[in-house]
Amino acid sequence: MLDAVNLEEKFGLFDEAWSPKIVGHLNGQLVKVVKLRGEFVWHHHDEEDELFLVVRGELRMRFRDRDVLVKPGEFLIVPRTVEHLPVAESDEVWVVLFEPASTLNTGNVVGERTVTQLEQL
């Protein structure tokens, strides 16, 4: 508590993709770090807006009607109810997530990619 959190250091602590780790919490929201490789699954969140801040690599966020490319030093906010498919445009993409504590990674689509027990780093 009351210590600075170094993002690079946190990303160095794990390797698995699509499994968000908690690195901070405030105001009922969580700060998470996640590594992306390949593509995820189409999903949406009924109640939560999600922020994706790219730290390394490039993220392609696919929407049903368009794609948005998100580069290092850029963030994208996906509003609740909007279907999206995160795709790692680079071999590996490092993303910081900012979202409510209630957010499930696969949103409305519970399946093998769903992570329910998030590790805190």
The CB-of-68 to a second copy minimum distance in angstroms stands at 6
Give which of 63, 65, 64 is closest to 76, Cα–Cα.
63
Tell me the CA distances in angstroms from 75 to 4, 78, 109, 110, one per residue in order. Answer: 21, 10, 24, 25
Q: Which of residues 40-69 bind a second copy (CB under 8 A)?
A: 48-51, 55, 63, 66, 68-69
Give which of 92, 29, 12 is closest to 56, Cα–Cα.
92
The CB-of-24 to a second copy minimum distance in angstroms stands at 5
Q: Which residue from 19, 87, 92, 100 is in contact with a second copy, where contact means CB under 8 A?
A: 100
Under rule CB under 8 A, residue 82 binds a second copy: yes
What is the C-alpha separation between 15 and 13, in angstroms, rounded? 7
Tokens of 44: 């949406």
Under rule CB under 8 A, residue 95 binds a second copy: no
Please give the torsion angle defined by the CA atoms of residues 99, 119, 87 and 71, in that order, rounded to the nearest 10 degrees. 60
Under rule CB under 8 A, residue 7 binds a second copy: yes
- Residue closer to a second copy (CB basis): 55 or 112: 55
Q: Which residue from 12, 13, 16, 79 is in contact with a second copy, where contact means CB under 8 A?
A: 79
Amino acid present at 30: L
Number of residues that bind a second copy (CB under 8 A): 36
Positions that interact with a second copy (CB under 8 A)? 1-8, 24-27, 29, 31, 48-51, 55, 63, 66, 68-71, 73-79, 82, 98-100
